A and B are shown apart, each in its own frame.
Chain A
C-alpha cells in the first residue's frame, strides 16, 4: 500500500502534466512556445545545478560543459539515425522514438562527463573546485572546436526540430520530480548534511565523497537533457552556445532563486528569461537594465527569492505553515 502510494507520487505529476502540456502546445503561438521552451530549458538547468550548488553546497561554474556534452551527443544520434525508419511504424512515431533515444544517450554521456568532473571533488573544495569545473568547461569547448566530426566552430546544423512544449515540459517535470524526490530521500539528507558541515557529515558516517560525485553525475545528466532539448528546437548546435557566460547565467538563476530551493530556481529561471525577452524593447539598454535588475534583486533579497525554503513556506497563505520540527 505504502509502496503504491510512493509510486503514484512519482508518476502522478507526469499523468497530470501530459494532457495539460498537450493543451498548452495546441494553444500557444510559435513565438510564445519558443519562449516557453527557453524557460523550460533554463528551469532544467537551474534545478539541476541546484543539486550540486544548492543541495550539496559545492561550487560548480561549468554547467554549460555538461549541456554541451548532452547536446552534441543527442545531435549526433538524431542526425545519424535520421534516415532510420523503424519498420512497421509511421515515420513520425519513429522520429519521436529516435529523439527519445537521443535524449537518453545525451543524458548518459553528460553523466559520464559529470563523473569525470566529480572525481576531483575527492580532493578539492570551494574555489579550487570552481576552477576545476571552469577549466573542464573550457576543455570541452576546445575539444569540440578541434573535432571535425562535431563541425568545429560551425557546429552541426539541420537537426530535426523535435523539441516542442510537450517534450520540454515533460523534461521540466522529470527534473523537478527528480530533485524533489531526491531532496526528500535519505540520499538528499546526506547531500544537505554535506552542505551544512562536511566534516560533521563525514563523522556521522555519510559517504561524503560518494555523494558529492553522485550529485555531480545527476546534475550533469539533466544539464545534458537541457542541452539536447535546446538544440533540437533551434536545429543547430555550435560551441558558442556553451560558453563560460552561459554557466554563469545558470549560477545566477540558482543563487537568485535561493540555494537549495527548487521552486526558487524555477521562478528565478522563468523571471530572468522573461525579463531578458521583455527587455528586447529597450534596445541597447537591455543588458544594462538587466544587470541593474540583478544587483537590485540581490541587494534586496540577499538569500535569494525564497532562501533555502520553497515557495509555499514563504507564502504561508498558500498552505498552512509547517510545524517548525517538520520543515524539510
Chain B
C-alpha cells in the first residue's frame, strides 16, 4: 500500500511537470492551431536565465525569499520576451501561409536555441578567434583582447549540465508511514492547479479571453470585428512562455540538472499530454499531463521499466482510438 501511494505521489509529481508545460502549449495551440515545437526550448532558456540570475545573486550560499522572487520574475521576463520575439519574427510572417510552414520554422527555432546554447562561451569563442588570427600571422591589438576578456565566460553554457541552486529550501516529509513527499511536489501541483483555474478564468471570463476565442474561431473575421489580432496572439505567446518559465524553475529547483537539451523530451511529452487531454482545452492539458505522468509511473513501477515510454504511448493510442478528440476535447463536426 505504501508503495502504491508512493507511486501515486511520484506520478502526480511527474504529471505536474507535463501539465505545467502542456498548459502553455495548449494556450498557443488554442489560438493559432500551431504546434509550437520551440516551447520546450523556451522552457530550457527560462531555466538557464534563472540559473544565471541565481548565480549572480548568490542564491546557492544564501537563499532568501527576495532572491527567489527575483529569480522567478527575472526568468519569466526573459521567457516572455523570447516568446514574443519567436512569434514576431518566426511565426507571424507565415501566419497566412500553410500551417506546416510554421511548424518547420518552429523546428528551426528549436534547433537554433538547443544548438546555440551548446556553443562554447562567448569569451572562449573570442579566444579561439584570436588564435586563428595569430595563426594567420596577425598581431591581436590590446583593446580586442580586453574586449574578449569582458565577454561573459559562462554564456552560452555549452553542453555540460549545470547545477541549478534551489530557489527555496527543499523540505522532505514522510507521511502515512513511509510515503515521501517534498514541498516542491506540493507547491508545483498547487501552482499548476492555480494556473489552470487562472487560464480558464482568462479564457472564459475576460474581454481578452473573448478576443482569444474569437481569434481562435476565425482570425480574419475577428480582425474585421475590430479585434487587434496581432496583439492577442503576441499576448498569448507571452503568457504561454511565462508559464513555461514557472514550470522550468519549479522543475529545475527539485531536479537540479539543467542542460541545453533539457526541453526536448519534456516538450514532446507535454505535447502528447496536451493532445491527449484535447488540444486547446485548458483543463484537458492539466488532466492529460497528470494521466500521462501516472501512466508512466505505474508502468515503470509495476511492469518492466524499460517498456515505460512504449506502454505509456500504447495507452495513449488506445484512449485516442476510443476518444479521437482527446479526453476533454470538443467533437468538431466538419461542415461542407
By a beta-carbon cutoff of 8 Å, the part of chain A in contact with chain B is 53, 59, 120, 123-125, 127-128, 130-132, 134-136, 138-139, 141-143, 145-146, 197-200, 203, 244, 248, 251-252, 255-256, 259, 284-285, 287-288, 290-292, 294-295, 298-299, 302-304
Assess the B310–A131 pair: CB atoms within 8 A: no
The verdict on B112 contacting chain A, using a C-beta distance below 8 Å, is: yes
Are A131 and B112 in contact, with the CB atoms below 8 A? no
B272 contacts which of A53, A59, A135 (Cβ < 8 Å)?
A135
Question: Closest approach, in angstroms, between the C-beta of A260 and any C-beta of chain B?
Answer: 11
Contact A138 B309 (CB under 8 A): yes
Q: A135-B314, A135-B317, A136-B317 are in contact. Are A284 and B119 (CB under 8 A)?
A: yes
Chain A residue numbers with a CB within 8 Å of B308 are 142
Closest B residue to A123 using CB positions: B324
Assess whether B291 is interfacial by the CB under 8 Å rule.
Answer: no
Q: A131-B320, A138-B313, A291-B111 are in contact. List 7 more A-B contacts (CB 8 A).
A: A120-B321, A128-B324, A134-B272, A199-B335, A287-B118, A295-B90, A299-B93
- Give the residue name and chain of the B residue nearest to A135 (CB): B313
Could you tell me the dominant secondary structure of chain B's interface residues? helix
Asked if A138 and B310 make an inter-chain contact with CB atoms under 8 angstroms apart, the answer reads: yes
What CA separation (Å) do A252 and B37 show in the bound complex? Answer: 13
What A residues does B105 contact at CB under 8 A? 294-295, 298-299
CA distance A284 to B334 in the complex (A): 48
Of the candidates A135, A288, A290, A292, which one forms a contact with B316 in the assembled complex, judged by CB atoms under 8 Å apart? A135
The distance in angstroms between the C-alpha atoms of A255 and B304, with both chains bound, is 38
| Chain B residues whose C-beta falls within 8 Å of the C-beta of A251 in the assembled complex | 103-104, 107
- A46 to B110 Cα, complex, angstroms: 21
**Does B306 sit within 8 A of A, measured CB to CB?**
yes
Q: Which 4 A-B pairs have the closest CB atoms?
A: A142-B310, A135-B313, A291-B111, A294-B108
Residue numbers in B under 8 Å from A248 (CB-CB): 107
Q: Which residues on the A side are within 8 Å of B65 (C-beta)?
A: none
User: Is B336 part of the contact surface with A, judged by Cβ < 8 Å?
Assistant: yes
Cα-based distance from A120 to B112 in the complex (angstroms)? 34
In-complex Cβ contact of A124 among B120, B309, B320 (8 A) = B320
Which residues of B, 295-336, contact A by the 8 Å Cβ criterion?
Answer: 304, 306-310, 313-314, 316-317, 320-321, 324-326, 334-336
Whether the pair B108, A302 counts as a contact (CB closer than 8 A) is no
Q: Which of B94-102, B133-141, B228-236 contacts A (4 or more CB under 8 A)?
A: B94-102
A86 CA to B182 CA, complexed, in Å: 67
**Given A142-B309, A255-B100: A128 and B120 interface contact (C-beta under 8 Å):** no
CB of B109 closer than 8 Å to a CB of A: yes
B334 touches A291 (CB 8 A): no
How many residues on chain B are close to A (CB under 8 Å)? 46
Most buried by A among B93, B100, B313, B324: B100
Contact A127 B314 (CB under 8 A): no
Which residues of chain A have C-beta atoms less than 8 A from B152's C-beta? none
Q: A139-B310, A255-B104, A302-B94 known; A127 and B116 CB under 8 Å?
A: no
CB contacts (< 8 Å) of B306 on chain A: these are 142, 145-146
Taken together as a complex, chains A and B put the C-alpha atoms of A10 and B317 apart, in Å, by 39
In the complex, chain B residues whose CB is within 8 Å of the CB of A244: 268
In angstroms, Cα B336 to Cα A203, docked, is: 10
Give chain B residues whose Cβ lies under 8 Å from the Cβ of A252: 104, 107
Q: How many A-B residue pairs have CB under 8 A?
A: 126
B325, chain A: closest CB distance, angstroms: 7
| Complex contacts, B109 vs chain A, CB 8 Å | 291, 295
Which label, helix, strand, loop or mixed, suits the secondary structure of the A interface? helix
In the assembled complex, the Cα of A142 lies from the Cα of B336 at a distance in Å of 41
Check A131–B316 contact: CB distance below 8 A.
yes
Q: How far is the CA of A291 from the CA of B117 in the complex (A)?
A: 13
A303 and B275 within 8 A (CB): no
The answer to whether A292 touches B310 (Cβ under 8 A) is: no
Which residues of the partner chain B approach A292 to less than 8 Å between Cβ atoms?
108, 112
Choose one: B98, B268, B317, B335; the contact of A120 (CB below 8 Å): B317
A283 to B116, CA, bound (A): 13
**Residue contact A132 to B107, C-beta cutoff 8 Å:** no
CB-CB under 8 A from A131, the residues of chain B are 271-272, 275-276, 316-317, 320
* B246 lies within 8 A of chain A by Cβ: no
Chain A residues near B100: list those with CB within 8 A.
53, 59, 255, 259
**Can you list 17 pairs linking A and B with CB atoms under 8 Å apart?**
A120-B317, A120-B321, A124-B320, A128-B275, A128-B320, A131-B276, A135-B314, A138-B313, A142-B310, A145-B306, A198-B334, A244-B268, A248-B107, A251-B107, A252-B107, A256-B104, A299-B90
Q: Nearest B residue to A137 by beta-carbon distance? A: B313
Chain B hits for A123, CB < 8 A: 321, 324
Given contacts A302-B94, A302-B101, contact A143 B310 (CB under 8 A): yes
Residues of B within 8 A of A120 (CB): 317, 320-321
Check if B282 is an interface residue, CB within 8 A of chain A.
Answer: no
Alpha-carbon gap, A64 to B185, bound state (A): 36
